[in-house]
Structure 1
Amino acid sequence: MRQVAGIARRLHHKLGDPRQANSFSSKRRAVRFAELTRRFPDLAAMRVLDLGGVPDFWRSAPVRPSFVTTMNLDKYEPPEPWLEHVVADACGLGSLDACRGDYDLVVSNSLIEHVGGYQRRRDFADVVRAAAPSHWVQTPDRYFPVEPHYVAPGFQFLPLRTRARLVSRWPLAHERVHTVEEAVEQILTIDLISTTELAHLFPASDIWHERLLGFSKSIVAVRTG
Structure 2
Amino acid sequence: MSVAETRPSSDGGHMALKSALTGEFMNATWRLQQWLTEPNNPRSLSARARAKRWREFISRFPDLSAMRVLDLGGLPSFWRTVPQHPAQVVTVNIADAEVTAPWLRHVVDDACAPNSLRGERFDLVVSNSLLEHVGGYARRRALASVIHEYADLHWVQTPYRFFPIEPHWAFPGMQFLPVRLQTVAARHWPLSHGKAPDHHNAVDAVLGTELLSLTEMRLLFPKSTIWHERVLGLTKSLVAVQDRPASPA
TM-score (norm 2): 0.83
Contact 1:89–1:95 (CA under 8 A) maintained in structure 2: no
Distance 1:72 1:84 in 2: 11
Match of 1:190 in 2: 209
Match of 2:149 in 1: 130
Offset from partner CA, 1:46-77 (integer Å, 9 cap, x none): 11111111112111112111111111111112
Match of residue 160, structure 1, among 179, 191, 197: 179
1:1-225 matches, within 5 Å, as 3=23, 4-5=25-26, 7-97=28-118, 101-224=120-243, 225=245
Query: 1:182: how far off?
Result: 3.1
* Largest Rg, 1 or 2: 2
Contact 2:187–2:199 (CA under 8 A) maintained in structure 1: yes
Q: What letter matches 2:58 in structure 1?
A: T
Offset from partner CA, 1:82-122 (integer Å, 9 cap, x none): 1111111000052423x9x3310001110110011111001
The structure-2 alpha-carbon separation of the partners of 1:14 and 1:212, relative to structure 1 and needing over 3 Å to count, comes to closer
The structure-2 alpha-carbon separation of the partners of 1:199 and 1:29, relative to structure 1 and needing over 3 Å to count, comes to same
Contact 1:209–1:216 (CA under 8 A) maintained in structure 2: yes
Contact 1:21–1:27 (CA under 8 A) maintained in structure 2: yes
Distance 1:20 1:206 in 2: 31
Contact 1:93–1:126 (CA under 8 A) maintained in structure 2: no
Q: What letter matches 2:50 in structure 1?
A: R
Distance 1:178 1:49 in 2: 33
Aligned residues with identical type, % of pairs: 50
Mean Cα displacement is larger for which, 39-48 or 158-167? 158-167
Query: 1:170: how far off?
Result: 1.0
Query: 1:151: how far off?
Result: 0.8
Unaligned runs of 5+ in 1: none
Contact 1:208–1:220 (CA under 8 A) maintained in structure 2: yes
Unaligned runs of 5+ in 2: 1-18
Tell me how many residue pairs correspond in the alignment. 223
- Which secondary structure does the structure 2 equivalent of 1:168 belong to? helix
Q: What letter matches 1:84 in structure 2?
A: R
